[in-house]
Structure 1
Amino acid sequence: MSSDEPSTTQFVNGQNNRTPTEQDFSIVSDEQINLQMIQKDIEKLKVQYETLLKDHKLFSDGIESNHKYTQEFQQRAVNLKRNLDNDRVAQAETVKKEQLKLDAVKQQNILLKTELMTMDQKLRDMEETNQSLRQQTEVSTAVPEKKVVFTGETANGAQALSFDMKPHIVYTMEGGTALITFEEEEVTEKILALKEHEVSLGDCRIVVQAEPVRFLVPSGVEMDTQVCPRRILVSNLPKNESVDRVLDKLEIYFSKKKNGGGEVEDIDMLDDSGNVVITFVDDDVAKGLTDKQTHEVELERGKKLKVKVTPFLNGGITHLQTCNAVCDKTVLLTGIPPVMDLDNLQDLLEIHFQKSANSGGEVDAIVYNPVGQRTLAVFQEDSSKDE
């Protein structure tokens, strides 16, 4: 306020009742403006405070949510760990069970391999046995051609459907074996019943095994026969004449056309019967000679012999039945080591099995086949059974 202006201050009842001046209005305006600004700032601060409260609430909610999620995750982690542990335990038990199964399978495989090896060995043994039996069958079934002829005799029943053949069986002996035939069947039975026999060979003893001799033999034979158009069978021949002389005289006689003969291709005498088989070149010769049947052949000058001419039958086996046969008197001894020469060992074996103290008896025949050798033993019909 200027010093030149008059003062307008008044005091009423002891108070200053000065009339406001322009300066005073200016001060009031500034204060109002400041107050408004402060209020605005306060409003702003309130807004900021509200915002901060909201943010704080959001943060608090977030912290609480995170804490909740953390607890859930921790619980899930615990559950997962527990499940994982359980899975590991279950897996370990499963692996253990599978390992036990695998061990059982391995053991089973070992047993199966062992059984397979055993079966293979048995199969090889059976194959060897079958091969031996097959060889015996081939030998047994290789029946020699029987040259037979109808001689005018007839028979009824079974005799009309059969004929006799002499057995002739070839048996293959392995090395280190012996065949011994006793005169009595009872001795063979006792030897086989004991199975093992201790044989003294002087300074040493050996143990041999007794086994029965088995092979296949024909039990029934069916043959298809037909008359041969080029062969004849000549019988009733003398037995005290030379075979060559008889054959020559027969060939001379039957080669002449005036005697009903023809060109001779072959002539042969059958050793088992003493009859002669003559084969002609042409087919139309044999029938005329067999129709006549009786022919007089000159064997010596001025001496003629009546011979009989019959048809010759060709035959083939159409059906063969076989059966297993066991020798009643023969025993197979196996497991014989090569401890001495053949003759001495065979003699000592025969001496041992002849003694009744060794359950033996009278020996009819014996043959020893050393180790490393192969021998063929021939079995024939036991003629003593016919006595």
Structure 2
Amino acid sequence: ATEIPFRLNQNQALLTFEDEEVAQRLTKMGKHCVKLDNRTANVTVKPFELDMGFQFELHVAVSGNKISVSEIPELPIPKDWMRDKLELHFYKTEQAAGGGEIKNVTYNKGSGTAVITFLKPGASSKFVGCTKYPFCAEGRCFNLCVSPHFDFHLRKFQPYCRVSKRTILLKGIPEVEEDEETVQDMIEIHFQKPSNGGGEIEEIKYTSRGAAYVCFEE
């Protein structure tokens, strides 16, 4: 499970109920008068919302007309020349085992990698199982590493705001002389009573000083 942190600010509380209907009812009521020892506090109930997230589908497929090439040697020749040599090398049928005409070569000199795009669909299948490939340039021979190229597509990408159905955020709790645990107990007693619109509480966290981070599992 993924843990999602939430910052609980000073004089705030989080209450998670066993029944989501209780949380929804308290949220609709909005304002609540809570008895804190010898005084009554007007507090506000807000829906509990985590930070905005994103959801999407990631589709991965092996390309039918591209291959990835790595371990390309760094030679004292211009970048364009190396790109041309790669194109000629993989175009030749006797070397490329039928690679055929090339549409594009994307070469990265810094990382020693390239992506070869063939014009004919399915041409990349000629290189299946061929991990090392001989390559000669500048009077020397090298072994290039050839691997399938993967195409990644994001679909149904959309932002969303995660709202907990069973948790409420309590704001406006005044500073009192009692210690944090005592105040938390008084809050819990109030919101457990059905006469106040409450119900059974599963978890509660109140902070009176500074801020606290609470983690939720998704």
TM-score, structure 2 length as denominator?
A: 0.53
| Residue of structure 2 in register with 1:376 after alignment | 213
Residue 195 of structure 2 is aligned to residue 195 of structure 1: no
RMSD: 2.5
1:219–1:195: structure 2 CA closer, same or farther, 3 Å change rule? Answer: same
The DSSP-based 3-state class of the residue aligned with 2:28 is helix
1:336 to 152, 163, 173: 173
1:186–1:322: structure 2 CA closer, same or farther, 3 Å change rule? Answer: same
2-side partners of 1:331 and 1:177: how far apart? 11
Which structure is larger by alpha-carbon Rg, 1 or 2?
Answer: 1
Q: CA deviation at 1:224?
A: 5.9
1:223–1:346: structure 2 CA closer, same or farther, 3 Å change rule? Answer: farther
User: Which has the larger helix fraction?
Assistant: 1
2:55 to 215, 219, 226: 219
Q: CA deviation at 1:348?
A: 0.7
Q: CA deviation at 1:338?
A: 1.9
1:172–1:338: structure 2 CA closer, same or farther, 3 Å change rule? Answer: same
The DSSP-based 3-state class of the residue aligned with 2:10 is coil
1-side partners of 2:5 and 2:160: how far apart? 16
The DSSP-based 3-state class of the residue aligned with 1:214 is strand
Residue 201 of structure 2 is aligned to residue 363 of structure 1: yes
TM-score, structure 1 length as denominator?
A: 0.30
**Which amino acid is 2:174 matched to?**
P
Alpha carbons 1:221, 1:321 under 8 Å: kept: no
**Count of aligned residue pairs for this structure pair:** 127
1:167–1:221: structure 2 CA closer, same or farther, 3 Å change rule? Answer: farther
The DSSP-based 3-state class of the residue aligned with 1:175 is coil
Alpha carbons 1:170, 1:377 under 8 Å: kept: yes
Q: What is the 5 A alignment of 1:269-308? A: none
User: Which has the larger strand fraction?
Assistant: 2
| Cα shift readout 1:22-79 (whole Å, capped 9, x = no counterpart) | xxxxxxxxxxxxxxxxxxxxxxxxxxxxxxxxxxxxxxxxxxxxxxxxxxxxxxxxxx
1-side partners of 2:172 and 2:35: how far apart? 14
| Residue of structure 2 in register with 1:159 after alignment | none
Residue 7 of structure 2 is aligned to residue 172 of structure 1: yes
2:21 to 157, 170, 186: 186
Q: CA deviation at 1:220?
A: 2.0
1-side partners of 2:11 and 2:194: how far apart? 24
1:323 to 160, 165, 174: 160
Q: Any gaps of 5 or more consecutive residues in structure 1?
A: 1-165, 227-286, 288-314, 382-387
**Which amino acid is 1:367 matched to?**
K
Q: CA deviation at 1:225?
A: 9.2
Q: CA deviation at 1:217?
A: 3.2
| Residue of structure 2 in register with 1:348 after alignment | 186
* Identity percentage of aligned residues: 31
